[in-house]
Structure 1
Amino acid sequence: MDAVRLIVTSGRALAAGGEEADILAEVWQAQALAQAIGSRLAVYGPPELRGEALGLTELAGRGCGVLHTPELAPGELRAAQLTELGDARQALLRLAGLLGEIGIALVAVASSADDETTYWSCVEAIDAADESRDRVLEMLRKLADRDVEPERTAPWPEREPVLREAG
């Protein structure tokens, strides 16, 4: 499945909410998906994105690591369903939005957490999601810079030839 479809699916699942455990499982799924997208970009993406993509992979992995790994049935791990990136710009735009939604969901869970472990896990996951989003935004900036054509400038101003009238 392509990245954009998986990101949209994750966003919808996160928006559906539910119990604290359900929200944290969706956050974990989204972070795992961000990690997979970063990994794919690091290997197959444009060369100018590879460093940031590796950073995204590491940060999203940290986001997964601070949360309890959910018990998923075979085939439920969205990151494992990633088969193609499709349009990198579109995937990164959607991923930036999803990472922002993750942060908001985690703030809500942290605010209502009954125990300190959940609270601090959410705080660390918020940090990882925020830093991951920063990496995605940097990749988008690099793509935009790449697409801007430098202005052609002549070494001196071009002038139209002056024609004299015969007379």
Structure 2
Amino acid sequence: MDAVRLITAGRRALAQSGAALDIVGEAWQAQALAQGVGNWLAVSGPRELRSEASGLGEAGGRGCGVFDRAALRGEGRGPDHPPRAAQLSGVADVRQALLGLQELLGEVGIALVGVACATDDEGLYWQCIESIDAADESSDRVRAILRLLVVPDRGPTTGAA
């Protein structure tokens, strides 16, 4: 499935999540999608994006690890189902996918702040804080890739006036 469709599905699922653990699960899904999109672009995307895309894949992977570590410590649970990102077949529109992913990661951060503020469970609180940091790091990587997409559109700079 194309990245834009998966991102849209993720945004819809996050918007419909009401329970704290559902929101945390959707945050994990978003990080898995960031990892998948980053890895796909690093291998198959435009050559000029590959280095930054690799960083996005790594950041998304670390974001997924936040949830795995918390589950191992007994401070939460891992997701109940495989990541949506496992269905990723390609990124047809790189710019649209990255813009959508950036929006999804921003929405994830906001939702996690709400969970962190509302919980009395210290383990869940810290899991949310770590996840907010991970979503922010992934979002920074997406922004860096988007900047690289804009640069070629400016055309060559000659220095002559």
Give your verdict on TM over 0.5: yes
- Equivalenced residues, count: 152
1:33 corresponding residue in structure 2:
33
State the structure with more CA Rg: 1
Say which of 68, 79, 83 aligns to 1:70.
79
2:129 corresponding residue in structure 1:
123
2:138 corresponding residue in structure 1:
132
1:84 corresponding residue in structure 2:
90
**1:108 is the counterpart of 2:117:** no
- 1:53 Cα deviation from its structure 2 partner: 1.1
Alignment partners' CA distance in 2, 1:134 and 1:92: 11
SS at match of 1:84: coil
- 1:77 Cα deviation from its structure 2 partner: 2.7
Give the gaps of 5 or more residues in structure 1. Answer: 158-167
Q: Greater helix share, 1 or 2?
A: 2
SS at match of 1:66: helix
Give the gaps of 5 or more residues in structure 2. Answer: 68-76
Alignment partners' CA distance in 2, 1:69 and 1:38: 22
SS at match of 2:117: helix
- 1:97 Cα deviation from its structure 2 partner: 0.5
SS at match of 2:36: helix
Alignment partners' CA distance in 1, 2:137 and 2:159: 39
- 1:147 Cα deviation from its structure 2 partner: 2.1
Query: For residues 124-148 of structure 1, what are the alpha-carbon distances to aligned partners after superposition, in whole Å with 9 as ceiling and x for unaligned?
Result: 1101100110110110000100222
- 1:85 Cα deviation from its structure 2 partner: 0.5
Change (3 A) 1:135 1:153: closer
* TM-score, structure 2 normalization: 0.88
Alignment partners' CA distance in 2, 1:124 and 1:151: 42
- 1:112 Cα deviation from its structure 2 partner: 1.1
Letter in 2 for 1:97: E
Runs of 4+ in 1 over 3 A off after TM superposition: 151-154
* TM-score, structure 1 normalization: 0.85
Percent identical: 59
- 1:62 Cα deviation from its structure 2 partner: 1.4
